[in-house]
Amino acid sequence: MSDRSRAILFVLVAVLCGSVNDMGIKMLSGDYPLHQTVFFRSSVALAVSLLFLFREGGWVLLRTDRPGLHALRAGLVMVSNLTFFAGLAVMPLAAATALFFVAPLFITLLAIPMLGEPVGRHRMAAVVVGLAGVGVMMAPGVDWGGIGRASLMLPLAAAACYSWMQVLTRKLGARSAASAMAVYIQACFLLVSVLFFAVAGDGRFAEGATHPSVVFLLRAWVWPAVGDLWVFGLIGVMSAMIGYCMSMAYKLGTASVVASYEYAALPMAILWGWLVFGEVPRTAVWIGIALIAGAGLYVFARERALDRALASARPIRRG
């Protein structure tokens, strides 16, 4: 297989794993706190990532001359994950995924002040169309079944953090082995989840809270039910696969080609939402998905035509 074909295969595997991971997190969100879910997920994912690391070369691959950059990137990825999953606890899977996919449009806007890149009328028009899709989904007349507009902002906050991480990486040019990147991220997730447990693991900060997202973030740890252990194990393996496969995809292929295949996550999210949770997107969500995905794909097509990489060499999507 050519490098381009291998890159597309890696990104499609990563997207499939990402959709299964999101489904698993949503399944667990009603009974366990997010930091406990992240702890179990990252424990499994770190073990799998270390296997990849030793396959590629061992501990030496973890050496880096830019630890601060890796720490900042990991922090942005963690905030992106926290806000996305907090939104996922109360939102339909397809809607949350669609709102997150405004990230490429945010990257286009951030590239102007942070990278000094000119953005022509074609890409700016695509940004306007994509943001119009967000507006359609968040319009006051749209019935979200009691979900507040603040909850709809959570996937957008996740997209903003993700976009900042991408542009920062592109600006500073961070480079590491795919397995090393996965180990860095999973280790940071594990550390933060342990700190969350030390501060809020007894659930005292969730007392009196009524918003499902806040409860999901701060409820007390409980020992997992036997029937849920397979879900924890599954999302751990999926998380490791996301980080490794996505890094390999962007290593082998150009960002403008590979990133467009990430939009395969949208039909997958619609499918899982329907099969597992009985969610059928509302008309406004369908319109929003079409506008956001169409605008994002147009930006990637434009970048490819101009032979300019839109994203960084090593993006990490909700690892």
Between CA 45 and CA 179 the distance in angstroms is: 11
Between CA 253 and CA 273 the distance in angstroms is: 30
Q: Is residue 277 part of a domain?
A: yes
Q: Is residue 172 part of a domain?
A: yes
* Stretches in the chain below the pLDDT threshold 50: 309-316
The predicted pLDDT at position 307 comes to 52
Q: Is residue 317 part of a domain?
A: no
- Report DSSP letters for 22-68, one per residue: HHHHHHHTTTS-HHHHHHHHHHHHHHHHHHHHHHHT-GGGG--S-HH
User: What is the number of domains present in the chain?
Assistant: 1
Between CA 149 and CA 143 the distance in angstroms is: 11
The predicted pLDDT at position 258 comes to 75
The predicted pLDDT at position 288 comes to 92
Q: Is residue 55 part of a domain?
A: yes
- Report DSSP letters for 256-281, one per residue: HHHHHHGGGHHHHHHHHHHHHH----
Q: Is residue 191 part of a domain?
A: yes
The predicted pLDDT at position 256 comes to 63
Q: Is residue 319 part of a domain?
A: no
The predicted pLDDT at position 117 comes to 65
The predicted pLDDT at position 313 comes to 38
Please, which residues have CB within 8 angstroms of residue 114's CB and are 6 or more apart in sequence? 167, 168, 171
User: Which of 271, 277, 311, 304 is CA-nearest to residue 16?
Assistant: 271
The predicted pLDDT at position 213 comes to 84
Q: Residue 7 is part of which domain span?
A: 3-305
**Please, are residues 310 and 255 in contact by the beta-carbon 8 Å criterion?**
yes
Q: pTM value? A: 0.83
Compute the CA torsion angle 308, 130, 5, 73 (nearest 10 deg).
70
**Please, are residues 237 and 53 in contact by the beta-carbon 8 Å criterion?**
no
Distance set, CA 244 to CA 18, 105, 192, 215 (Å): 12, 24, 21, 31
**Longest pairwise C-alpha distance within the chain:** 56
The predicted pLDDT at position 58 comes to 87
Between CA 78 and CA 81 the distance in angstroms is: 5
